[in-house]
Amino acid sequence: MQRVWVVVLSVWAMLAIVAVLAWSPRPAAPLPAGSAQTVVVRGRGGKQRLVVVKAPAHATTATSAAVH
């Protein structure tokens, strides 16, 4: 009988985890395959440096002119 309860509780725990994951907030957009990657580099004084090494963007922002 104890084994049955263990199985039932395990199933419920698994369902709870699946439900939590399903309801968690998702990122605004999915990460496309082969998009930007980052590498962490140690800078001077041991400071962390995060660098985008590949960013195949379709457009790049620039400062908007006040007038055209």
Partner 1 sequence: MSVLHRTEWRAVGTTCAAAVTAHSNDERGAMRALGAAQEEVAACERELSRFDPASDLSRLNAAGGRWTPVGPRLLEALGLALRAREESAGRFDPTVLPALVAAGYDRSFELLEEREARWADDWRAGTAIELDPRNGRARLEAGSSVDLGGIGKGYAAGRALDSMLASSPALAGGIVDLGGDIAVRGESPEGGPWLVAVADPRRTGETLAVLALDGGGIATSGRDARRFGPARSLHHLIDPETGESALAGPLTVTVVAPDAAAAEVHATTLAIAGLGEAEAHVSATPRISAVYVPQIGPAVPLGRLPLVTERLVVRAA
Q: What own/partner pairs with CB < 8 Å and gap ≥ 24 does 38-46 have?
A: none
CB of 37 to partner 1, least distance (A): 8
Taking the least distance from each CB to partner 1, the nearer of 3 and 26 is: 26
Q: What span, in angstroms and rounded, lies between the C-alpha atoms of 7 and 3?
A: 6
CB of 20 to partner 1, least distance (A): 20
Chain residues binding partner 1 by CB under 8 A are 27-36, 38, 43-45, 47-52, 55-68
Q: What span, in angstroms and rounded, lies between the C-alpha atoms of 46 and 24?
A: 35
CB of 4 to partner 1, least distance (A): 44
